[in-house]
């Protein structure tokens, strides 16, 4: 018996699994663009292998937006700016890079019976 003459042989151009370079991630570490080219998320750059990504150190490159009086600290995929000057006694640095009063009475800090918190920012007094 002979095979039907109208049968079609598989063709690479017709098979989306073979033509889609991004199918299954396209062997890219982070992102695959439609043509199968690898790309990286913001804060990363493509390594010479064309597939892997590495962190961009914005602090070393000087591509950060830290102001005078702030230090640049590199994070994976990003960076943060940290105040260079400490806050002083009675204050702590917040995540927003501001100094905030430490309420020793509220935090339960034990100062003995001869100390009191007057309710003024940054102050703790000893009485006689």
User: How far apart (Å, rounded) are the C-alpha atoms in residues 79 and 65?
Assistant: 9
- CATH for 14-83 is 2.10.25.10
* 110 vs 59, residue with greater confidence: 59
Q: Token pair 């490159």 is at which residue? A: 61
Name the DSSP letter for residue 105. H
Place of tokens 């151009």: 13
pLDDT-based confidence at residue 84 (cuts at 50, 70, 90)? confident
- Residues belonging to the chain: 128
Domain boundaries, the chain: 14-83, 91-126
Q: Is the pLDDT of residue 15 over 50?
A: no
Query: Has residue 57 got a pLDDT over 60?
Result: yes
- Between CA 54 and CA 108 the distance in angstroms is 45
């Amino acid at each position: 018996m002979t095979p039907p003459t109208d049968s079609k042989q598989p063709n690479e151009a017709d098979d989306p699994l073979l033509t889609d370079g991004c199918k299954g991630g396209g062997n890219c570490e982070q992102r695959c663009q439609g043509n199968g080219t690898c790309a990286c998320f913001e804060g990363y750059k493509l390594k010479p292998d064309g597939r892997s990504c590495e962190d961009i150190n914005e602090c070393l490159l000087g591509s950060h937006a830290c102001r005078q009086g702030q230090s640049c600290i590199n994070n994976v995929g990003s960076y943060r700016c940290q105040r260079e000057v400490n806050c002083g006694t009675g204050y702590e640095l917040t995540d927003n890079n501001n100094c905030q009063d430490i309420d020793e009475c509220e935090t339960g800090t034990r100062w003995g019976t001869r100390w009191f918190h007057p309710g003024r920012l940054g102050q703790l007094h000893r009485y006689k």
